[in-house]
Structure formats: C-alpha cells, structure tokens
C-alpha cells in the first residue's frame, strides 16, 4: 500500500498538460503516503506515449486492447480498480476533466473508496481541500476508506517537471472487457487551432451582451492576437451563439489563466466560479453596476463594439514597439 | 417504462454563503430542489409524455426519492407537483450521509423498484461533488451516460442515445436499459429530449416546467412512503467527514480605467500580462 495510481490522459506525443497537473498532485500524495507514483495509460497509443510519460513518473503501466479504442467508463473503471489493487495503491487519482469526472467515481464504487472531487490542495495525508458552493467556500474533507479516489482541479496544480531518471514502463492485460451495454457512437467537435481552455495563458470570453455568434468574430481576432483560448458565459452558450464547450463557470470549464477578458459578461456567481482564480481580469461592460467589475482588476465601462476593436489596435501597437 | 429520479435539497444557490463555527451557516436557509435534479425530473417527464398533447404515455411511471430529514419532504412534493407519480423519503440526518451511504441506499431502492432508467442531476450545487450517478452505476454494474445535454429514447425503448457534454465537444453514447443518466444544463432546451411520441416539431419552453395550481393540489394526494435506512438494510457509514471550512480570500478591489490606451499600458507595464 501507499502507492499512488495516476490515470493520465495522453496524446501520441506524451502526457496531456492536464495529466501533468495530476502528476504533481500524485507526487505530493505519494510523499504523504510513503509510496511511489504509477502513471496509468489506457487506450490506443498508450505504449507509444509511455516513453514520454516515463520522464514524469517512477513507473508507467500501459493497457491497450481493441476493446478500449474508445473511452468508456464501463470498460476503463474495472481496469483502474484492478490495477489499483495489483499495485498497492492507497490513492487513485485523475484530473477533473470530463473523462476524469466520469471515470473516477465509478472506479471508487468498485474499490469501496471514498472520493474527493475537484480538489485544490492536499491538506494532510488523507485530507483534501476542495471548492464547494460554486467556489464560494473551501471545504477540507478527511476520507477514512483504505483506498481514496481523487480528482484534481487542473488550474490549482502546476504541471509536473520531468524527473532526473526515466521511470520503468510495463504493460498490463486489459482482462475481460464488458461495456455493460454501452457503446460509443460518435464525437461532434469543432476543430480549433487555439489552445485548450484549460491550458491557455490568456482567455477571451464573451457573454449575453455579444448578442449574436457572428459578433464573437471580433473577440476571436483579439484571442488570435494574444494566442488565447475562447470562452463564454452560460448565457451566450445557452443562446446558441457559441459551442457549449466554450462555457466557463461552475458547470462548465474552470480556468485560471494569467489574463482573462470578460467582454459583455455581467458576472453571475456561476460564471465567477469558473474564472475568479485568473491572475489578471479585465472586464468590458457598458453597465457600470455589473458585478463583474467587483472582481476585475481593470474595468472599461463602455460598449464592446467600440472598445474591442480599439483594444486590438492598441495591443498591435504595443507588440510592434517591442 | 419506469423512471426513478433521486433528488437532493440544497440551500438556495442565489443566497450569500456564510460560515459560522467552522461550518456553513444554514440557519434560516431557504431550501430548494437542486437545480440539476429539477432538470432530471423534467427529463423524465419529457421522456414519458406527448409534450404537444400534454398527456402521459400509458403505463409510464416516475418515482422521486430523497434521502434526508423530514423537511426534505417539501422538495419531493415540488417534484410531485410538476408531474412525478409517487415519492419515497428515506429518513436520515444530513450528517449521517455521504455519497457512499446515499449510493448504498439507492442500490436497495432500485432493487425494490426495478426502474428502467435512473436519472440524476450531474451534481448538487452545494457540494459540487459530481459522484453519485457514476458510483451508483458502478455498484449496479449498469451503463452510465453522464453530463447529458440531449437524450433520445429508441423506438423499442431498450436504449437511449445520449449527447454528453465533454471537454472536446459533444460525445454521443448509447446505453441500454436499465441504465443511469446524469443531466447537464442543456437537457432542458426546447428539443433536447426525443421519445418518438412528442412530435419532432414540438418545442418545449426553455427550462423545467413550473407546477400548476392543479398540480400542487394533486401532489398533496400522491403517495409518499417514508422509510429508514435500516428498512433497506443499509449499514454503510460515511467515510467522508468535513474537518474545516473557509471562505476564499477576497480579490483586491480593481480599478476602472478611463480608456483603452490606458488599459493596454497598465496591462503591459503594471500587470505585465501582455
């Protein structure tokens, strides 16, 4: 016991940046429990990505099988649970991505483990700090089950640095695969060259006041100028102006970039929960009473139609002068 | 078809969070049905009715269940008033519960009720844990479709095709019955729920329905069983305990800047953000 099994999402070139945040937590937990970190890669390309992941963990275990080509909680959770047992894991962890949130509680049920979701800090060996009530309070929870499952809020843990020596890579069998009647049908995604919302250093978000999806074009110009990801408030995604996966907030993505632009966003509690960890917040809103100004570092009271194009021009000037 | 909808009461999310004696201060809290659980009830209603005709499919039943103290009966009545058929309240103090205990109780209720689908909110907006649906599916060995933004019941009623909001977009996953669904915000959009009964052209109003006066009156006569955890043989005890609570540090007051050139200068020189 005492080891930490870290479920890591990966691409062909290595761990996703969300996985590196998970590995940072995994190292802290392994130190607290007196064990080592075992990175677990499941799915197609796991063996090929293992070498790059081995720079970050003492051990890497890969599981590949044609039956695992598409992620399903039903087929992945039993593997996570079985390997947690085989590797003496006291802590099983993943980043709180849509996969981690779907998978880890199911694995916890199979392990009879208590589960701490979306944690922001390891407070003590079995104690975890996590935001509750839309980030309006931080609760410290103690979990007393022999195995503990955790999902980690990416924005609260810096990406892990590479270790001096590469970890040992091995593969494990998938075992019997039973999807319990579930099948992956298809994924509808909008390809974008912009960074992922969760990783971006700069995020440009628009709200209800943008009025139409067409009007987001000017925000996209600002985003592309700054290498930013695009975000939106629930009002804008609900109105169908922009894709739902742009939503920043309690029930959307949680982001904490260096710089966050909130354009024509009033600043409902649900939205603030998703972005108030940002280092610098800029709000542009024509209503000077909008709650967003209470948390913004810099506010511009004015219409986005005028402010955003001017902002783009001014930033271009500053960039050109360097 | 029979659908079970577990619901939880939460303090009104619109009210300010207060802390007293190292815990969230709930004195005088205004309790409401967790919004995502309201969406779960609405999803069940839409799956089992002709929305245009306003008529329930014959033989369909919706059972709502909560695990909580006597006051929580009020939230069950709210669900009955919008159209659920009967309710079960498992009497327990909030302190005696965590996700594992709730799941253990739901497993037993499901064994007794044998629903075709269990629909839950994806998370309760007080604890924001997002665990119960997945854990329940794991314990039962059932398929799960979490974060559902759309659901389409197959003509043979043996499966549902679920549009799930994931980080990369919308993933479509099919699960057979019996199965577990947890619902996200957009499940209550006008065309999110399809059941081969409501005409495809019919648009629901955005959001969950309100109870009518007639519905509220009818709810008073609908059956509500009150059970104890021991009635279901639940001996699971909580493994999760809150040991501290704190409010987040307030952000320092910001400044309104006069114009864009000033803003850009401050972003470059003061915040060093561009």
- Tokens at residue B54, please? 């306003």
Distance from CA of B104 to the nearest CA of A (A): 10
Instruction: Give the length of chain B.
Output: 274
Whether residues A133 and A216 share a domain: the answer is: no
A105 to B172: CB separation less than 8 angstroms, yes or no? no
Q: Which residues of B touch A198 (CB under 8 A)?
A: 167
Nearest residue in A to B16, CA atom: A136
Contact A231, A255 (CB under 8 A): yes
Using the predicted structure, report yes or no on whether residue A165 has a pLDDT greater than 80: yes
- Exposed/middle/buried for residue B157 (C-beta within 10 Å: 0-12, 13-18, 19+): middle
Q: What H or E segment, with its residue span, contains residue A25? A: helix A17-33
Best of B22, B172, B185 to mutate (most A CBs within 10 Å, chain A): B185
Indicate the burial class of A193 (C-beta count within 10 angstroms; 0-12, 13-18, 19 or more): exposed
**Range A279-290 burial, b when 16+ CB lie within 10 A, else e:** ebbbbbbeeeeb
Pick A134's closest partner by Cβ from B125, B142, B264: B125
pLDDT band for A173, please (50, 70, 90 cuts).
Answer: very high
Counted domains in chain A:
2
Question: Could you tell me if residue A147 is inside a domain?
Answer: yes
pLDDT exceeds cutoff 80 at A148:
yes
CATH number where B105 lies: 3.40.50.620
Report yes or no: A57 and A39 within 8 Å, Cβ to Cβ: yes
d(CA B160, CA A207): 33
Residue B199's pLDDT is 97
Crossing angle of the two packed helices A98-111 and B132-140, in degrees rounded to 10:
50
Share of chain B above pLDDT 90, in %: 90
Q: pLDDT over 90 for what percent of chain A?
A: 93
Q: Which residue has the higher pLDDT, B21 or A265?
A: A265
B21 to chain A, any CB pair closer than 8 A? The answer is no
In a domain, A53, yes or no: yes
Cis (ω within 30 of 0) for the bond into B259?
no
> Is residue A183 one of the residues assigned to a domain?
no
Using H for helix, E for strand and C for coil, what is the string for chain B? Answer: CEEEEECCEEECCCCCCCEECCEECCCCCCEEECHHHHHHHHHHHHHCEECCCCEECCCCEEEEEEEECHHHHHHHHHHHHHCCCEEEEEECCHHHCCHHHHHHHHHHHHHHHCCCEEEEECCCCCCCCCCHHHHHHHHHCCEEEEEEEEEEECCCCCEEEEEEEECCEEEEEEEECCEEEEECHHHHCCCCEECCCCCCCCCCCCCCCCCCHHHHHHHHHCCEEEEEHHHHCCCCCCCEEEEEEECCCCCCCCEECCCHHHHHHHHHHCCCCC
| Residue found under tokens 């990783």 | A199
Q: Which domain holds residue A13?
A: 3-171
pLDDT confidence tier of residue B187, bands split at 50, 70 and 90 = very high
Residues of B in contact with A115 (CB under 8 A): 99, 129, 131, 135, 240
Answer whether residue A177 is part of any domain: no
User: Quick one: A225 and A286 in the same domain?
Assistant: yes
The Cα B125–Cα B130 span in angstroms is 9
Domain shared by A211 and A150, yes or no: no
Shared domain for A114 and A249, answered yes or no, is no
Q: Please check whether residue A320 touches B, CB under 8 A.
A: no
* Structure token digits, residue B113: 């009720």
B274 domain residue, yes or no:
no
Alpha-carbon span A221 to A39, nearest angstrom: 39
Helix (H) or strand (E) holding A32: helix A17-33
Q: In 10 A of CB A177, how many CB atoms? A: 15
A52 part of contact set with chain B, CB < 8 Å = no
Q: Are residues A260 and A157 in the same domain?
A: no
Tokens 């087929």, residue?
A75
Contacting residues for B25 by C-beta, under 8 A, at least 6 apart? B18, B19
Q: Say what the ipTM of the complex is.
A: 0.95
Contact A318 B274 (CB under 8 A): yes
B208-234 pLDDT tens trace: 999 999 999 999 999 999 999 999 999
CA distance B202 to A315: 48
The whole-number pLDDT of residue A6 equals: 98
> Is residue A98 domain-shared with residue A40, that is, in the same domain?
yes
Q: Which of residues 88-147 of A touch B (CB under 8 A)?
A: 97-99, 101-110, 112, 114-118, 127, 130-145
pLDDT at B16 over 90: no
Helix (H) or strand (E) holding A141: strand A137-143
The pLDDT, as a whole number, for residue A198 is 86
Specify the pLDDT at position A5: 98
Does the structure show a pLDDT above 90 at A250? no
The whole-number average pLDDT for the span B243-270 is: 92
- Under an 8 A CB cutoff, do B135 and A189 touch? no
Cβ within 8 Å, pair A141-B241: yes
Q: Domain boundary residue among A171, A187, A221?
A: A171
Q: How confident is the model at residue B128 (pLDDT cuts 50, 70, 90)?
A: very high
Which long-range contacts does B158-166 make (Cβ < 8 Å, 24+ apart)? B159/A181, B160/B117, B161/A185, B163/A188, B163/B192, B164/A98, B165/A98, B165/A244, B165/A245, B166/A98, B166/A99, B166/A187, B166/A245
Domain match, A56 and A141 both: yes
pLDDT, tens digit (0-9, with 9 covering 90-100), for A277-317: 999 999 999 999 999 999 999 999 999 999 999 999 999 99
- Residue B106's domain comprises 2-269
Mean pLDDT of B198-208: 96
A13 vs B45, more confident: B45
Find the CATH number of the domain harbouring A250: 3.40.50.1220
Whether B226 is in a domain gets the answer yes
Average pLDDT value for residue range B228-253: 92
Mapped onto helix, strand or coil, the DSSP state of residue A294 is helix
Given a cut of 80, is residue A191 above it in pLDDT? Answer: no
| The domain boundary residue, chosen from A171, A187, A220 | A171
The Cα-based distances of B17 to A135, A298, B134 in angstroms read 10, 26, 28
Could A182 and B175 be called an inter-chain contact, meaning their C-beta atoms sit closer than 8 Å? yes
| pLDDT in the model for residue A251 | 83
Chain B positions touching A202 (Cβ under 8 A) are: 273
DSSP letter string over A55-70? TS-SEEEEE--GGGSS
The pLDDT of B13-23, averaged and rounded, is 86
Indicate whether B256 belongs to any domain. Answer: yes
CA nearest to B12 within chain A: A133
Q: Which B residues in the span 112-151 are in contact with A, Cβ-Cβ below 8 Å?
A: 122-123, 125-139, 141-147, 149
Q: Region B102-116: what's the mean pLDDT?
A: 98
With respect to residue B59, please indicate whether it lies within any of the assigned structural domains: yes
Residue A1 has pLDDT above 80, yes or no: no
Please say whether the dihedral angle defined by the alpha carbons of residues A76, A81, A82 and A88, taken in this order, is positive or negative. positive
B212 within some domain: yes
Q: Helix A304-320 and helix A216-226: axis angle, to 10°? A: 20
Task: Count Cα atoms within 13 angstroms, Cβ side, for A50.
Answer: 23
Band (A108; pLDDT cuts 50, 70, 90):
very high
Distance CA A305, CA B228 (A): 60
Mean pLDDT of chain B: 95
| Model pLDDT for residues A23-37, shown as the tens digit of each residue | 999 999 999 999 999
- Examine the pLDDT at B48 and tell me if it is beyond 80: yes
CATH number at residue A112: 3.40.50.620
Query: Is A194 inside any structural domain?
Result: no
């Amino acid at each position: 016991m005492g080891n930490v099994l870290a479920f890591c999402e990966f691409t062909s070139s290595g761990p996703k940046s969300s996985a590196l945040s998970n590995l940072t937590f995994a190292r802290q937990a392994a130190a607290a429990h007196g064990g080592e970190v075992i990175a677990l890669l499941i799915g197609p390309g796991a063996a090929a990505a293992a070498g790059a992941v081995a720079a970050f963990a003492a051990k890497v275990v890969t599981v590949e099988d044609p039956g695992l080509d598409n992620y399903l909680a039903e087929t992945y959770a039993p593997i996570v649970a079985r390997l947690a047992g085989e590797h003496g894991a006291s802590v099983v962890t993943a980043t709180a991505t849509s996969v981690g949130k779907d998978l880890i509680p199911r694995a916890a049920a199979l392990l009879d483990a208590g589960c701490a979701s979306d944690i922001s800090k390891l407070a003590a060996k079995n104690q975890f700090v996590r935001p509750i009530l839309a980030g309006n309070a931080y609760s410290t929870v103690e979990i007393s089950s022999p195995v503990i499952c955790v999902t980690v809020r990416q924005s609260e843990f810096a990406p892990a640095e590479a270790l001096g020596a590469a970890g040992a890579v091995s593969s494990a069998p998938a075992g019997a695969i039973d999807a319990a009647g579930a099948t992956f049908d298809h994924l509808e995604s909008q390809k974008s060259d912009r960074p992922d919302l969760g990783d971006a250093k700069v995020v440009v978000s628009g709200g209800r006041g943008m009025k139409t999806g067409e009007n987001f074009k000017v925000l996209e110009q600002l985003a592309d100028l700054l290498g930013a990801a695009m975000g939106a408030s629930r009002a804008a995604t609900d109105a169908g102006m922009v894709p739902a996966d742009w939503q920043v907030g309690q029930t959307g993505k949680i982001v904490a970039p260096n710089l966050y632009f909130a354009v024509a966003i009033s600043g409902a509690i649900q939205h603030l929960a998703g972005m108030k960890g940002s280092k610098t917040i800029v709000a542009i809103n024509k209503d000077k009473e909008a709650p967003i100004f209470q948390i913004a570092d810099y506010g511009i009271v004015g219409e986005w139609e005028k402010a955003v194009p001017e902002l783009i021009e001014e930033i271009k000037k500053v960039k050109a002068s360097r | 078809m029979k659908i079970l909808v577990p619901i939880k009461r939460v303090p009104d999310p619109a009210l300010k969070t207060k802390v007293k004696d190292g815990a969230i201060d709930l004195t005088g809290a205004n309790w409401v049905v967790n919004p995502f659980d309201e969406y779960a009830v609405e999803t069940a209603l839409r799956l089992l009715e002709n929305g245009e005709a306003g008529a329930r499919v014959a033989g369909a039943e919706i059972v709502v269940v909560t695990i909580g103290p006597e006051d929580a009966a009020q939230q069950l009545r709210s669900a009955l008033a919008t159209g659920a058929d009967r309710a079960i309240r498992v009497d327990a103090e909030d302190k005696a519960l965590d996700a594992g205990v709730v799941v253990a109780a739901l497993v037993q209720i499901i064994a007794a009720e044998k629903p075709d689908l269990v629909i839950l909110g994806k998370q309760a907006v007080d604890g924001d844990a997002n665990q119960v649906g997945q854990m329940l599916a794991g314990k039962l060995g059932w398929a799960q479709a979490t974060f559902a933004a759309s659901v389409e019941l197959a003509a043979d009623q043996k499966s549902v095709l679920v549009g799930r909001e994931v980080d990369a977009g919308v993933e479509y996953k099919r699960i057979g019955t019996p199965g577990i669904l947890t619902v996200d915000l957009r499940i209550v959009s006008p065309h999110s729920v399809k059941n081969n009964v409501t005409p495809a052209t019919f648009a629901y109003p955005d959001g969950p329905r309100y109870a009518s006066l007639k519905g509220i009156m009818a709810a008073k006569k609908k059956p509500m069983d009150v059970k104890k955890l021991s009635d279901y043989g639940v001996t699971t005890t909580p493994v999760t305990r809150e040991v501290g609570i704190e409010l987040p540090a307030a952000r320092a007051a910001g400044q309104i800047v006069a114009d864009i050139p000033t803003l850009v200068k401050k972003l470059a020189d003061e915040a060093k953000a561009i």
